Amino acid sequence: MRKTVLLVLLIMSLAAAYYLSCEFNISPNIASEYVAVHNKKIELCKTCPPGFMLDQENKCISKNLYQQYESLQNIGVGGLKTALPKVRDGFTPQQIDLGRYLFFDPVLSLDGSISCSSCHDPLKGFSDGLALGQGINGAELKRSTPSLWNVAYLNKFFWDARATSLEAQIQGPLYAENEMGNTPDNLLSALNQISTYRRLFAEAFTKRSPNDSIELIEIYTAITAFESSLISLNSRYDQYAHGFHNALSDKEIEGLNIFRSFVARCAECHTPPLFTNQQVAVIGSPEPEGSAFDPGAEIVFNDPTRRGGFKVPSLRNIEKTAPYMHSGNFKTLKETAAFYNKGRGHAVPEGEKLYLHWHIWEPDLTETELERLEDFLKTLTDESFMPRIPEMVPSEVNEQIKTPS
């Protein structure tokens, strides 16, 4: 009996690898075999990434245990058993998978040197491990690279909250001279010259003729689709939140209680279940030595009361994205927590008038309490839905070999 099952399984595995061409779904031990078979052809996944259910209309619908709950005024902030904010979903498996190829493809930058993933590295929490981002030709950027985990739930993007959709956000780094350095025209012409992309875009965007050129909005949509699939909601904290109280150790629970206490007040802005309330807050965190003061949201909103204001980041997978804060000034979580403990406005440069957030005060936490906070923050780590890095991206496909249509 067991042998039969094994045999069936073996046949099915091979069949899956050969026919479905969904590289995302290949486990590491047979990946090499798969690449050997398919290294001349890339095909888009027909199934949804984990965390999504394929519906009748070929759309991937987000599914998770937080859908059991409600939230006050449907805003998606609250306590442990609270619904998430409205999710960005409903993309097709093909759009998501195409977005994955684009995300990892350096052809998106002006000189083909860097891809989205150069800064949003999945192995570094979709950030880069640097204090400040690094663009094309090693250009040092002004702020640190935000993580992309759970961006499907966000409604503001960039540290200074200047974009309200992922499609708008994507255009920032694509066309910034010191980031990917590209131009819309150049990007379009580069992609339209790659036959694999023309085929894949036609597969992902079926409402137009397959012979039509790739359009900018399709590029943004596909990358948005992929980024929206980066879901991290299965941490040990989540197990606790859903009711399994043994998921956290006593020290971690102590950390949770400090986190949500009204002394530390972390949860007032980093509110569960996403660990951000998606607001702009002026907290007065310092710039790196010698750097000019970053006015942040003041510029975007043309409002001096928001000077030095930045979007409250989610803390999910925060363990993976050191260093911290908009300028990457703090190396560890404990150091970051200690910033909030040092007194309201202690790092505000002389002569700066900032409207500091009312929750910034002097909580007077002990060293032990800061350690417990760090313990708790590490329970927010979950990378179980890590997407696969493509073995090969379309710009690397040998164009000489014609693929059968």
Tell which positions 336-375 bind other proteins, by CB under 8 A: 344, 355-358, 360-361, 364
Q: Which is nearer to other proteins, 113 or 239 (CB)?
A: 239
- Report, in Å, the least distance between residue 400 CB and other proteins: 31
Q: Which of 166, 200, 225, 258 binds other proteins (CB under 8 A)?
A: 258
CB 174 within 8 A of CB 108: yes
Q: Which contiguous run of DSSP H or E holds residue 219?
A: helix 216-227
CB 373 within 8 A of CB 334: yes
- Report, in Å, the least distance between residue 247 CB and other proteins: 5
Q: For residue 253, state whether it binds other proteins (rule: CB under 8 A).
A: yes
Calpha distance 97→222 (Å, rounded) = 8
Q: Which is nearer to other proteins, 274 or 397 (CB)?
A: 274
Near other proteins in 385-404, by CB under 8 A: 385
- Report, in Å, the least distance between residue 358 CB and other proteins: 5
The full length of the chain comes to 405
Stretch that binds other proteins, among 67-75, 104-112, 172-180, 287-295 (CB under 8 A): 67-75
- Report, in Å, the least distance between residue 166 CB and other proteins: 20
Q: Which is nearer to other proteins, 74 or 405 (CB)?
A: 74
Q: Which is nearer to other proteins, 179 or 375 (CB)?
A: 375
Token readout for 364 is 């007077």
- Report, in Å, the least distance between residue 385 CB and other proteins: 5
Stretch that binds other proteins, among 74-82, 101-109, 179-187, 209-217 (CB under 8 A): 74-82
Q: For residue 270, state whether it binds other proteins (rule: CB under 8 A).
A: no
- CA 27 centroid distance within chain: 23
Near other proteins in 214-243, by CB under 8 A: 233-234, 239-243
Q: For residue 72, state whether it binds other proteins (rule: CB under 8 A).
A: yes
Q: Which of 42, 44, 52, 180 binds other proteins (CB under 8 A)?
A: 52
3-state SS of 203-218 is HHCCCCCCCCCCCHHH
Near other proteins in 143-162, by CB under 8 A: none
Q: Which of 358, 209, 350, 216 shows the shortest CA–CA distance to 279?
A: 358
- CA 125 centroid distance within chain: 8
Q: Which of 120, 198, 260, 311 binds other proteins (CB under 8 A)?
A: 260
- The dihedral through the CA atoms of 144, 148, 149, 155 has a sign that is positive
Q: Which is nearer to other proteins, 50 or 286 (CB)?
A: 50
Calpha distance 200→218 (Å, rounded) = 11
The DSSP string of 289-354 is: TTPPP--BHHHHHT-GGGTTEEEPPP-TTGGGS-SBTTTT-BSSHHHHHHHTTS-TTTTSPTT---
Near other proteins in 11-40, by CB under 8 A: 12-13, 16-17, 20, 22, 25-27, 29-30
Q: Which is nearer to other proteins, 158 or 240 (CB)?
A: 240
Q: For residue 250, state whether it binds other proteins (rule: CB under 8 A).
A: no
What is the per-residue binding string for other proteins in 164-203, x denoting contact by CB under 8 A? ----------------------------------------
Q: Which of 323, 401, 341 shows the shortest CA–CA distance to 127?
A: 323
CB 82 within 8 A of CB 272: yes
Near other proteins in 274-293, by CB under 8 A: 277-282
Q: Which of 264, 259, 287 shows the shortest CA–CA distance to 347?
A: 287
Q: For residue 41, state whether it binds other proteins (rule: CB under 8 A).
A: no
Token readout for 224 is 């948005």
Label the pairing between strands 280-282 and 52-54: unpaired
Q: Which of 196, 224, 271, 379 binds other proteins (CB under 8 A)?
A: 271
